[in-house]
Amino acid sequence: MPKNCEALTTTIRHEVHEVLQEAVISISIPVGALPQGALPNAHPAIGALAENLDLLRIEAGWSFDDMYQATGISKKLSIGHVRHGKGITPRNLRVYAEAFTKALKRPIAPQDLRRK
Q: Are residues 60 and 107 in the same domain?
A: yes
Residue 110 has pLDDT above 90, yes or no: yes
Name the residue with higher pLDDT: 82 or 34. 82
Average per-residue pLDDT for the chain: 78
Work out the burial of residue 96: count CB atoms within 10 Å of its CB; fewer than 13 is exposed, 13-18 middle, 19 or more buried: buried
Q: Are residues 77 and 93 in the same domain?
A: yes
* Cα distance between residue 94 and residue 6, in whole Å: 46
Place 11 in a pLDDT band, splitting at 50, 70 and 90: confident
Residue 100's CATH number: 1.10.260.40
Mutual orientation of helices 64-71 and 44-60 as an angle, nearest 10°? 100
73, 4, 81, 7: which is closest to 46 by C-alpha? 81
pTM score > 0.85 for this model?
no
Residue 107 has pLDDT above 70, yes or no: yes
Q: How many domains does the chain have?
A: 2
Q: Are residues 45 and 18 in the same domain?
A: no
Cβ distance 96 to 86 under 8 Å? no
Residue 17: which domain range?
Answer: 1-30
Q: What is the pLDDT of residue 38?
A: 47
